[in-house]
Amino acid sequence: MNPLTILQTPDYLGIPESVASELIDTFFSHHYNARLLLHKAKLEEDRSRRTLRPHVLLTICAMGAVFYHNEKSENPFKEFARVWAERAGKLALNEVEIPHEDNIVTFSTLSLFWYTQGTDSMFGISPSKSLAALPLPWTEEEFERGSSNSRPCTFGSGKTNGGIYSEMIKAMTHWSSVNTLIKSFDGDSQARITAIHRLDAEIRQWWDSVPQNLRLHPSNLSSFLRVDLTKLILIHVVYYQCLCAMHSSIVPLFSWGPDEPNHAVAQQLSAQLAYENACAISQFLQMILDFSQEVADFPSFVGYAAYCSYAIQVPFRWCLNPGVRETTLRNTRANLEVIQGMTKYWEFIVLLGHYAKYLTQTHAQNPLGLDDEPKNLSAGKLNGFRITAARARSSILSMNGILWKDDGYSVQGDEVMDLGLDGRQNIGSPSTSPAVDWGSRETPATTGKDTGPANQDTGSTVVYEDPPPMTTTVPDFYDQQPLFFQPILDASNIFEPMPQNLGMVDWSEMDTLPSWEVLSSRGQSYELPL
The distance from CA 517 to its chain's CA centroid, rounded to whole angstroms, is 28
Contact, 259 vs 470, CB < 8 A?
Answer: yes
pLDDT band at 326 (very low <50, low <70, confident <90, very high): very high
The tens digit of pLDDT for each residue in 68-82 reads: 888 878 888 887 888
Q: In DSSP terms, which residues pair with 520 in a beta bridge?
A: 525
pLDDT (tens digit per residue) in 451-507: 333 333 333 322 333 333 323 232 332 233 332 222 322 322 222 334 444 455 555
> What pLDDT score was predicted for residue 150?
80
- The per-residue pLDDT for range 17-29, each reduced to its tens digit, is 888 999 999 999 9
The pLDDT value given to residue 214 = 96
User: Taking 80 as the threshold, does the pLDDT of residue 416 lie above it?
Assistant: no
Compute the distance between CA of residue 240 and CA of residue 252 in angstroms, rounded to an integer.
20
* pLDDT for position 261: 66
Arithmetic mean of pLDDT, 274-302: 96
Q: Is the pLDDT of residue 289 over 80?
A: yes
Distance CA 163, CA 140 (A): 6
How much is the average pLDDT of 127-135?
Answer: 66
Mean pLDDT of the region 219-242: 96
Nearest to 233, CA basis, from 195, 186, 197, 287? 287
Widest distance between CA atoms in the chain? 74
Q: What is the pLDDT of residue 178?
A: 93
Q: What is the pLDDT of residue 484?
A: 27
**Which of helix, strand or coil describes residue 84?**
helix
**Quick one: pLDDT at residue 186?**
56
Residue partners of 214: CB distance under 8 A and separation at least 6:
162, 164, 167, 232, 235
pLDDT at 234: 97
pTM of the complete model: 0.64
Element housing 284 (H / E): helix 264-291
Residue 221: pLDDT over 60:
yes
Average pLDDT, the chain: 74
CA atoms within 13 A on the CB side of 458: 13
Q: Calculate mean pLDDT across residues 220-242.
A: 96
Q: What integer pLDDT is reported at residue 50 of this predicted model?
A: 87
Q: Out of 84-98, 236-250, 278-292, 328-342, pick the least confident.
A: 84-98
Q: What whole-number distance in Å separates Cα of residue 276 and Cα of residue 285?
A: 14
**Reported confidence tier of residue 119, pLDDT bands at 50, 70, 90:** low
Nearest to 360 by CA among 512, 185, 231, 215: 512
Phi, psi dihedral angles at 344 (to 5 degrees): -70, -20
pLDDT mean over 168-189: 84
346 vs 461, residue with greater confidence: 346
